[in-house]
Each structure stands twice: as C-alpha cells, then as structure tokens.
Amino acid sequence: MNSPSAEQRPPQRPRDQAYAHAVALMTTHPLIDAHNDLPWTVRKAGGSDLERYDLTKLHPETDTDIPRLRAGKVATQVLAAFLPTSVAHPATVTLEQIDLILRIEDRHSDAFHPVRRPADVAQAQQLGKIGSLPSVEGTVGLEGSLAPLRLWQRLGVRLVTLCHNESLPWIDSATDKPDAAHGGLSDFGRAMIGEMNRIGLIVDLAHVAPHAMHKVLDVATAPVVISHTCAAALCAHRRNTPDDVLRRLPANGGMVMATFVPEFLNPSALEGVRRFKDEWGKMHPNAGPADYRQARDACLQGWNQDGIAYFCDHLAHFRSIVGEDRIGIGSDFYGGPNPPGLEDASKFPDLIAELVRRDWGDAAIIKLMGGNFQRIWADILAKAV
C-alpha cells in the first residue's frame, strides 16, 4: 500500500494526560477485542506453520502479533476461525482453523491464556497474559448439520458469526442477494439459533442482513452480539447496522461492537471503491484487482480526520441508541489496509485516550472496553440449558 505523504496524514495523536489516563484504565480493567482474523493471516502467509510465522516477532506487513497486542494492552483477543464461504471442504477447514487457534495458545502459552468463561478474562490479565477466546466466522462448516456446533464448543469455541460475505441456505448475508424462499432465516437457521442458545454459544449477527437480524431477534432466547460493524446512519455500507435493529438490542439483552474497517467508518472511503462492486458489495468479475487496490489505498489518504475520530463518532451513535451498557469494540484486524490512526493492534490506547478527551467518563469507558461483553456473555451462559 502506498503510504500517504506527511501533509496528507492526520496529525499524530499526542501522548498527553488523556493517554496516560487511558493506559492506567487499561492496566486495571480489561480491553476485549471481539474480532481478529489473525489465524487466517497466519494460514495465508505460512500455511499455518507457527514456527515459520513467528508471532513473537513484529510483522509490519500486517497488523497483529504478540508485541503489538501487548503494546495495545489487549487483555483478551477473540481469535476468529475464519474461512471463505466458497472454500472446498468447509467442515475440515473450520476444524483446521480452530486447531490453529489452539496451537497458538499451546505454542505461545507464555503469552496467551485460554479464555473459555467470563472469569478467565480477569485471570488472564492478572497473569500478565493475553486472553485467547476462539470463535468461528461463518457457519458454512456446519454443512447442514447441528452436530458441529456442539463439537466446536467442546473444542473451545465460544462465539459463532452466522455467515460471512455470502448467504448460506439457512441465513442471508448483508452483502449478498437474499433468499426469497426462507425470508432471511430458514427452519434450519432457527434450529441453529435454538441450539446455540441451548449450549451457551454467543450468537454473532455481524455480516447478517438486517432483515435476517430481525428474524434472529424474533427467535433468540438469549442475548446476541454484533461483533464488528458500524452505524448505517453514519455510513451506508451494507455491513453496517441500521437503527431499527439497534433499537431491538436492549429488549434482547444484547450488544453492538464498533469496528475499524475504513469503508464502514468513512462515507468517502466507501464511495471511492463503490464502482468496483455490485449492488450487494461484491467485487465485479471484471474489476481489475490492481485498479481496486489503487483506489482503496487512495481512500486512506487525505482523510479530514483519522480513523479514531470516525470510530468514536460511530460509538457515540451506538451509545445514543442502545445506551452505554450495550456497546463494545471489535477491530476486525485481518492483515489488510486499516484507517490512519488505527493501523495495528498497538493503537488501542490512542483510541481510549480519545474517549477520555471526549469526556465519556471512566465508568462508561470500562464498560465499553470489556465490562459489557463479560456481563452479556455471563447472561448468555445463565440462559443455557
């Protein structure tokens, strides 16, 4: 990616009293990042070879490694077992991705502590380690069966994102044509939600189409989360969550977690790449990858404010709709281009410092960082059979 010139970059954020206050808060209260695709980044770069892809070393070509997670004071990282919807043998690939997360925990046990229940978040922080919470992004690996859900949970998975960028026969994606036959959620999809609620898996509506989000909220008996999204009212990306869905979260008991994706945060970034995509946000088959990358990179230059400012604006909108007890953070770091100011996992203290400057107050910031997620996760487990 072409680096913006000094005059194009937003000014560097100060290491001032607000920053020092943010670091103090993060030292005593956990920050939970609800979505990171590090396992797929490792798979692409090193074929899942953790010796070859050494997470103890700085990887400037991507955004996440152990040094930057520590610098960012991340207390618990949700690591996603992501796989593309179109991948061959999705059930196997899902297991391979879960296995990779478990091998990361084993190989780097001095850095990571397994998080499988809410109390483990505090234990990891007390040990001076990064909590590792496995998730699955996309239920394509179910292949029409509920049995893998139960096996994923036994392997340590605690959160499941229902789909990715493509619709599945049981759930509509926000970035794909809806399935008129089932109206967003099929009978199998309803059974999937019921089983996840029964065994205490966190239902994640990120990537789900808004009409399907409503269908899930109609049948869910436990709180849901939307782990990485932004406000559709501020940026009209199909992946962003509209206000009518947000307004249902308090009654459900769930929460929404804002993300760092440039096209979700900044309407000009979205507009800059729109011509390369179809009405659902898919790349046109004849779109030139090099031209798209050039346009995308240009959208990261010359922002009139940095990604942290945009992010905090989206957070403020979420807070105005659902309240401070139902919001959190899900970076969606995936090794790709990130907004200025949010380039990598070391930047979380800068983000929290901006909230200090915006007078959010310590109690609200502590809830946002991780308190809300821990409480809602405990509620989900309490409703499990």
8 Å CB contact between 232 and 314: no
pTM value > 0.75: yes
Per-residue pLDDT at 347: 98
Q: What is the pLDDT of residues 199-208, one digit of tens each?
A: 999 999 999 9
Per-residue pLDDT at 6: 44
Per-residue pLDDT at 376: 98
Token representation of residue 108: 């780097």
CA atoms of 194 and 365, how far apart (whole Å): 33
Per-residue pLDDT of the chain (385 residues), as tens digits, is: 344 444 456 677 889 999 999 999 999 999 999 999 999 999 999 889 999 999 999 999 999 999 999 999 999 999 999 999 999 999 999 999 999 999 999 999 999 999 999 999 999 999 999 999 999 999 999 999 999 999 999 999 999 999 999 999 999 999 999 988 899 999 999 999 999 999 999 999 999 999 999 999 999 999 999 999 999 999 999 999 999 999 999 999 999 999 999 999 999 999 988 888 888 877 777 778 888 888 888 878 778 889 999 999 999 999 999 999 999 999 999 998 999 999 999 999 999 999 999 999 999 999 999 999 999 999 999 999 8
CA atoms of 379 and 278, how far apart (whole Å): 39
Q: What is the pLDDT of residues 126-161, one digit of tens each?
A: 999 999 999 999 999 999 999 999 999 999 999 999
Say how many C-beta atoms besides its own lie within 10 A of residue 108's C-beta: 17
In the chain, which residue ranges form alpha helices assigned H by DSSP? 17-28, 38-46, 66-71, 90-107, 119-126, 147-154, 187-199, 210-219, 243-246, 249-252, 262-265, 267-273, 289-299, 307-322, 348-357, 362-366, 372-383
CATH number of 22-266+303-383: 3.20.20.140
Per-residue pLDDT at 1: 35
Catalytic residue set: 35, 37, 137, 164, 207, 228, 332
CA atoms of 46 and 94, how far apart (whole Å): 17
Per-residue pLDDT at 144: 96
Q: What is the pLDDT of residues 10-52, one digit of tens each?
A: 677 889 999 999 999 999 999 999 999 999 999 999 889 999 9
Per-residue pLDDT at 280: 84
